[in-house]
């Protein structure tokens, strides 16, 4: 299954997760209504192309504390990125709601540690989890109490790693993110998957509609969702393979959708003035042959980024990965080391 065709959909129907959560070893603690956990805010489901439920997570607020209540993915689809997308969706929503911290009881703490959660002693954990009163606590069930403290900064990962195999570009991007999170504790990471279907090229009707909405100041239209998401990012990571001396065409389509007059940039007498807050945009690519000085994808991204107000740009690459006879793993290792050196 191609996990990138997965949809994440918000839902208030918590009970649909009952079987999935039980199979994943999560307890279903419902409040008096019997419809959801205490302090239930909302939930998201991951569904595959056929509409089947393959993952879910919920967020709650108890005694003023935000909690990532449950997160589960069907066993055969774990480590495919679904849990990460659900997690990021939930974390971004809580940040948008004004959360400063998020608590969890984790059965797979390594996953959360990677994203910047730290361990709490049970006595330092607010009294919001039923766990400690459960007779299985410390016996068959040994959860870790963890907390995440938002710094308020946001990184947007524009993931255009369109591929038929395990993407080498994605491997570099994942590594970059791990280093970045370590160097920027509390950063919120959000991913937009930029593949066919994520956005449409603008035609005459779209441009007319966009102009009408802009004239009316109706920037809350869903047409501008990607532009808002880009505009509020403090950091941007673009991951895109080197295709035809640049990047996959869908990334250009996505860019058409974020470059919006009056929202992400404005026209001035001297040219353009960017309205986005991004301090640094990092571009990661891998190529089958040599790139040399023909990284037209990166050059283009820099041009657009400058127009939108991005302050600085950085690039990491691994090239010649399809040339027979070369040690491709050694090339990748070298690129990973360059990222390590650049992100310390
Ligand atoms: C549609 C397409 C176009 C490509 N164009 C180029 C190219 O212009 N120059 C090049 O060196 N490699 C090109 N490649 C090879 C990819 O850049 C290379 O395999 C890259 O590592 C793929 O990244 P991934 O493993 O993240 O998918 C192309 C590959 C595809 C599928």
Q: From the options 3.40.50.300, 3.40.50.720, 3.40.50.360, 3.20.20.410, give the CATH code of 154-343.
A: 3.40.50.360
Does the beta carbon of 288 lie inside 6 Å of ligand 1? Answer: yes
Nearest CA owner, ligand 1 atom 24: 167
State the pLDDT at residue 1.
41
Nearest to 307 by CA among 251, 242, 255: 255
Q: Rounded to whole angstroms, how far apart are CA atoms 118 and 141?
A: 19
Query: Which residues have C-beta within 8 Å of that of residue 87, sequence separation ≥ 6?
Result: 57, 68, 71, 111, 115
Cα 113 to its chain centre, rounded Å, is: 16
pLDDT, position 4: 60
What pLDDT is attached to residue 27? 79
Q: Which two tokens stand for residue 43?
A: 């939930």
In this predicted structure, what is the pLDDT of residue 301? Answer: 98
**Burial call 187-226: b when 16+ CB within 10 Å, e when fewer:** bbbbbbbbbeebbeebeeeeeeebeebbeeeeeeeebbeb
Strand, coil or helix: 197: coil
Pocket test for ligand 1, best of 170, 288, 293 (most atoms within 8 A of CB): 288
DSSP single-letter state for residue 235: E
Looking up tokens 């361990």, which residue turns up? 119
For a ligand 1 pocket test, name from 81, 239, 287 the mutation site with the most ligand atoms within 8 angstroms of its C-beta: 287
Locate CATH 3.40.50.360 in the chain.
Answer: 154-343
The CATH code for residues 3-149 is 3.40.630.30
Query: Please, what is the angle between helix 168-183 and helix 328-343, to 10°?
Result: 20
Chain centroid to Cα 317, Å, comes to 21
ipTM rounded to 2 decimals: 0.99
End-to-end Cα, the chain, rounded Å: 36
Give me the pLDDT at residue 2, please. 47
pLDDT at 236: 98
pLDDT tens, position by position, 115-139: 999 999 988 899 888 777 777 777 7
230 CA distance to ligand 1 middle (Å)? 26
What is the model's pLDDT at position 3?
A: 54
Which segments of the chain belong to CATH 3.40.630.30?
A: 3-149
Q: Looking at residue 139, what is its pLDDT?
A: 75
CA 5 to chain centroid, in Å, comes to: 15
The two beta strands, 53-62 and 65-73, are: antiparallel
Residues in the chain, pLDDT under 70: 1-5
Q: Could you tell me which of 168, 246, 259, 252 has the C-alpha nearest to residue 210?
A: 259
Burial of 312 (0-12, 13-18, 19+ CB in 10 A): exposed
């Amino acid at each position: 299954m191609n996990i990138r065709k997965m949809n994440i959909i918000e839902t208030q129907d918590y009970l649909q997760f009952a079987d999935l959560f039980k199979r994943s070893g999560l307890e279903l603690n419902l409040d008096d209504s019997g419809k959801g956990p205490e302090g239930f805010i909302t939930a998201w489901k991951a569904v595959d192309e056929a509409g089947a439920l393959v993952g879910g997570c919920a967020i709650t607020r108890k005694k003023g504390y935000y909690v990532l209540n449950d997160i589960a993915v069907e066993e055969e689809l774990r480590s495919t990125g679904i849990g990460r997308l659900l997690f990021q969706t939930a974390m971004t929503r809580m940040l948008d709601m004004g959360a400063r911290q998020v608590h969890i009881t984790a059965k797979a703490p390594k996953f959360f540690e990677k994203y910047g959660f730290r361990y709490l002693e049970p006595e330092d954990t607010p009294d919001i989890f039923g766990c400690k009163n459960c007779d299985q606590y410390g016996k068959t069930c040994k959860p870790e109490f963890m907390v995440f403290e938002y710094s308020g900064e946001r990184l947007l990962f524009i993931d255009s790693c369109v591929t038929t195999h395990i993407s080498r570009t994605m491997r570099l991007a994942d590594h970059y993110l791990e280093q970045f999170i370590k160097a920027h504790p509390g950063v919120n990471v959000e991913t937009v998957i930029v593949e066919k279907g994520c956005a449409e090229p603008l035609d005459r009707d779209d441009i007319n509609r966009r102009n009408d909405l802009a004239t009316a100041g109706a920037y809350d239209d869903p047409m501008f969702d990607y532009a808002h998401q880009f505009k509020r990012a403090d950091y941007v990571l673009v991951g895109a393979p080197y295709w035809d001396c640049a990047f996959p065409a869908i990334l250009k389509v996505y860019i058409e959708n974020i470059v919006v007059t009056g929202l992400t940039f404005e026209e001035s007498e001297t040219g353009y003035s960017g309205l986005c807050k991004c301090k640094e945009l990092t571009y990661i690519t891998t190529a089958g042959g040599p790139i040399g000085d023909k990284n037209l994808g990166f050059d283009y991204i820099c041009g657009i980024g400058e127009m939108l107000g991005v302050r600085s740009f950085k690039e990491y690459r691994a090239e010649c990965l399809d040339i027979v006879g070369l040690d491709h793993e050694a090339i990748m290792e070298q690129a990973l080391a360059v990222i390590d050196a650049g992100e310390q």
